[in-house]
């Protein structure tokens, strides 16, 4: 056999060996994926068989707490096991995030996430980001307002802003959490209005409400739902809606857009689990939460709390995509606030 023939034969043998290696690799990967799928499917066949924790990163009485307690009732009925709400306030839900990530990725710990997961990324409050979670659903978006208390000398937004401009740094506005969505939203409005006011963070909505009623702060950021009874009783008064249009329920309250203000990303609430949770379990949870959102009880809750003013529902995959869309928006806002650490 000549040298040329030997080289050709060697090349053919090498090509044959590479082909065999490729086929073996494909077979191994296929077997591995199949094994994971079978394991996940087998695991999900027994899911759920015990109590599920629904973790809320805030104290009792706020919008996230109330939402969690309402949505978990139809979820519990659908899944056939207890679903208990656990309040875990601290660091604008970062404490709760860390707890969730310390639990097994088995679907028995569901995280009631809010927009604060986005700002916490840039504040380095936790090493975890939205990418460490698998979304289940986004239930709704909530519309916030700047509200004043019963003893406030300011009865309108114009009066509040006039005083703030004449007394820079003297007004105090409350919100739940430092560097939280509340602070992000109010920072955007303060910047647009050209005022300098002090933001006072509270760990729970009930503490903030008490501070406003007691005259310890000049105004607060809050959604309509958690304080609608207080508004109807004349204990609090909304003076600005942070949205693109006025609310039908409060036709005389101006909105941010009509005043030419920038509008922050809308606040949302939803549910997620630790990344790595078997997909069949995520599917079971998504189906249960979707049916819960469609239930008459939850629909009535959304209507009474003005959570149906803007389309907010997203399924698991679309929710993940939307969080990625919001990532650079929050990054820019946090940098402008001078709070971004990454």
Confidence category of residue 305, pLDDT binned at 50, 70, 90: confident
The 10s digit of each residue's pLDDT in 309-341 is 888 999 999 999 999 999 998 998 888 887 656
The 10s digit of each residue's pLDDT in 237-287 is 999 999 999 998 899 999 999 999 999 998 999 999 999 999 999 999 999
Mean pLDDT to the nearest integer, 230-243:
96
Judge if 228 and 175 occupy the same domain.
yes
- How many structural domains compose the chain? 2
Among 259, 289, 316, where does a domain finish? 259
Token reading at 123: 């504040």
Mean pLDDT to the nearest integer, 62-90:
95
Judge if 228 and 249 occupy the same domain.
yes
pLDDT of amino acid 117: 92
* Higher per-residue confidence, 268 vs 43: 268
* Higher per-residue confidence, 149 vs 1: 149
Say which CATH number the domain at 241 has: 3.40.190.10
**Taking 80 as the threshold, does the pLDDT of residue 64 lie above it?**
yes
**Taking 70 as the threshold, does the pLDDT of residue 7 lie above it?**
no
Judge if 255 and 271 occupy the same domain.
no
Among 259, 280, 295, where does a domain finish? 259
């Amino acid at each position: 056999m000549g040298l040329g023939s030997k080289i050709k034969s060697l090349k053919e043998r090498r090509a044959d060996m590479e082909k065999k290696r490729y086929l073996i690799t494909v077979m191994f990967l296929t077997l591995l994926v199949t094994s994971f799928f079978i394991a996940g499917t087998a695991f999900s066949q027994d899911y759920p068989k015990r109590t599920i924790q629904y973790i809320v990163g805030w104290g009792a009485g706020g919008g996230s707490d109330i939402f969690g307690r309402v949505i978990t009732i139809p979820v519990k009925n659908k899944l056939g096991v207890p679903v208990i709400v656990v309040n875990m306030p601290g660091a604008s839900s970062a404490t709760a995030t860390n707890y969730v990530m310390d639990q097994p990725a088995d679907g028995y710990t569901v995280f009631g996430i809010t927009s604060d997961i986005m700002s916490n990324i840039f504040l380095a409050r936790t090493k975890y980001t939205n990418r460490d979670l698998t979304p289940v659903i986004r239930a709704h978006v909530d519309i916030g307002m700047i509200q004043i208390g019963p003893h406030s000398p300011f009865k309108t937004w114009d009066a509040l802003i006039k005083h703030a401009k004449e007394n820079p740094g003297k007004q105090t506005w409350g919100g739940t959490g430092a560097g939280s969505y509340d602070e992000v939203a109010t920072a955007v409005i303060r910047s647009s209005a050209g005022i300098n006011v002090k933001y006072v963070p509270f760990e729970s909505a009930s503490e903030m409400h008490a501070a406003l009623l007691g005259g310890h702060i000049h105004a607060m950021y809050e959604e309509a739902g958690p304080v609608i009874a207080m508004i109807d009783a004349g204990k609090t008064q909304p003076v600005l809606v942070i949205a693109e249009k006025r609310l039908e329920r409060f036709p005389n309250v101006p909105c941010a857009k009509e005043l030419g203000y920038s509008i922050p990303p809308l606040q949302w609430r939803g549910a997620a689990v630790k990344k790595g949770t078997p997909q069949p379990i995520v599917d079971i949870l998504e189906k249960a939460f979707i049916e819960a959102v469609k239930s008459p009880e939850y629909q009535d809750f959304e209507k009474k709390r003005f959570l149906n003013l803007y389309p907010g529902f997203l399924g698991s995959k679309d929710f993940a995509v939307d969080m990625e869309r919001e990532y650079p928006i929050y990054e820019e806002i946090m940098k402008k606030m001078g709070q971004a650490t990454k």
